[in-house]
Amino acid sequence: MSYLIGLDIGTSAVKCGLFDVQGKLLASARSPQCCYSPHPGWAEQDPLDWWRGSLKTLQQVLSGIKPEKVIAVGLSGQCPSHVLLNARQEPLGRAIIWRDQRALEESRWIKSHISKKEMLRWTGVSQLDDPGMTPARLLWLKGQLLEEWHKTWVVVQPKDFIGLRLTGELATDPHTAFCLINPETIAYSKELLDKLGISLSLLPPLRLPTDVLGKISPSAASITGLRSGTPVIVGTIDAYCDSLAGGAAWPGRAVDIAGTSEIVSLGVEQETEGKGVFLVTIDKQSRFLCGPSQAGGGTLHWLAQYLFPDLPVEQAIAELEKEAKTAEAGCNGLIFLPYLSGERAPIWDKKARGIFWGVTITHDRRHLARAVYEGVAFVVRHILETCEASVGHKADQVVVCGGASASQFWNLIKANVLGRPIIPTQIVETGSLGSAILAATGIGLYPTLRAACQEMVRLGKEIHPNSAAVDICQTNYERYRKLYPALRSVLHIGSTKHIVEKDRHAQS
């Protein structure tokens, strides 16, 4: 029997899966990752923790497996997250990850110096001025970390850092490098880099997600358990791997990725433009509209840790779910806007902030807990409806995947809010499966990604909504959609801009 490995460098954990060539999960392991926030709006991780987590999980899934049976390794990773490497391929400090919003001044510079037309022409993206996107991040790194920047050999993202350590070869894919790529040439945008003053030599070469990055080096083989010479595939963003593993390669299928943040994709046949969402083309057959949010499992973790501060995170989440189960659907009118770190799709407002609306003396922490679950589900519905409006019809199916899809309670809430059945994937950690699908295609095991998905994607039992809960959730959802436009200017008062600038003044 031959095996494939999918290695996913996620935000909450490094996850590794061992699969047969039909996509059956044979072994899995995860290594939790710490996130540091030294100042408000900042989010960092240690790249060496990614490497240690990769070694640990690879060793675990390979226990008792003959190394020569593994025929390929696929990679996926959180994005956009950046680490500076010196010429010895060593990190020059912590990585700044996708949640980070520190590059506010740099984002304002971009907004004032690059027009929307130039943004679209150079990169196909109109949100280049977002502080969490790569252009503003690179400007911050260049301007604030002068000593480290001077020593920098290359700026890499998580999966590419791991790929480099496994093979000694450096490359990234155009999706991971989004916001820097010209959509016509699929090469780095010279106009944008010149405007930012960023040298092309600091960026990794570009390869396709299914290209072979390189082969496991003898040194990596000695510490991972993999055979020297095993091909490693370039891979792509974790969300896109999740989408593939949920079946978004098929037109009409929607996939909700229930991870640290919720990301919704909808498979499309032809190139389709969407307002508030964007088109992802993995290959000629595999296209989907995609909308990433800021809300998701991380939002649940936030409330769980505050309600149950003395419990470990996983136990706190379990207690949060117990509390939420005892509250009625709709939370007696309590609604939560889950914009704790601004919001991406579909409103793209970095200044948006979270709020509990409709609180009365009848509410207690049970309602707060359930309102957070329902609020995140409202975001999922909002993004899905935005995708559906772009194609002019509803999705044929809604599949849910990712770590939080293991919760049947969470899945039922989403079904109630969407007002339609949802289908969980059999495999929860779909980032690993998606990268294994890329690996299988990359070594020619399957002729196309869609063919690989046909063989390797497995769905579970359909979950049907509760009809009474659907009506209640519909009323709350309609209110939810009205709240953000009505409160937008007020929500901006508490934005990261003011918090971060206040923190800066406090330090000066």
- Chain segment 125-135, per-residue pLDDT in tens: 887 888 999 99
User: In this model, does residue 498 exceed pLDDT 80?
Assistant: no
Q: How many Å apart are CA 62 and CA 27, to the nearest integer? A: 8
**Token pair in block for residue 464:** 């049907």
Q: How many Å apart are CA 201 and CA 244, to the nearest integer? A: 32
Q: How many Å apart are CA 400 and CA 267, to the nearest integer? A: 14
Whether cis (ω within 30° of 0) applies to the bond prior to 80 is yes
Question: In this structure, are strands 154-156 and 262-268 parallel, antiparallel, or unpaired?
Answer: unpaired
User: In this model, does residue 504 exceed pLDDT 70?
Assistant: no
Rg (CA), the chain: 22
Residue length of the chain? 508
As a whole number, mean pLDDT of residues 1-13 equals 96
CA distances from 48 to 53, 95, 212, 225, 234 (A): 8, 10, 24, 19, 20
pLDDT score, position 275: 87
What's the whole-number average pLDDT of the chain?
94
Give this prediction's pTM. Answer: 0.91
Kindly list the structural domains of the chain, giving each domain's residue range(s) and its CATH number in brackets, ordered by start.
3-234 (3.30.420.40), 242-427+452-508 (3.30.420.40)
Determine the residue type at 315: Q
Backbone angles phi, psi at 344, to 5 degrees: -95, -120
pLDDT score, position 494: 57
Residue of 190, 102, 185, 187 lying closest to 138 (CA atoms): 102
- Chain segment 51-93, per-residue pLDDT in tens: 999 999 999 999 999 999 999 999 999 999 999 999 999 999 9
Q: How many Å apart are CA 155 and CA 139, to the nearest integer? A: 12
As a whole number, mean pLDDT of residues 153-176 equals 98
pLDDT score, position 284: 83
Residue of 340, 329, 333, 342 lying closest to 373 (CA atoms): 329
pLDDT score, position 29: 98
Question: In this structure, are strands 25-32 and 13-20 parallel, antiparallel, or unpaired?
Answer: antiparallel
**Token pair in block for residue 292:** 């990433």
Q: How many Å apart are CA 235 and CA 176, to the nearest integer? A: 9
Q: Which helix (H) or strand (E) holds 165?
A: helix 158-167
Q: How many Å apart are CA 418 and CA 463, to the nearest integer? A: 12
CA distances from 141 to 314, 497, 500, 502 (A): 34, 18, 17, 21
- Chain segment 254-278, per-residue pLDDT in tens: 999 998 899 999 999 988 888 899 9
Neighbours of 391 (CB within 10 A): 18
**Token pair in block for residue 465:** 């909504």
Helix axes 238-246, 430-442, angle to 10 degrees: 90
| pLDDT level of residue 495 (50, 70, 90 thresholds) | low
Q: What end-to-end distance do the CA atoms of the chain give, in Å? A: 62
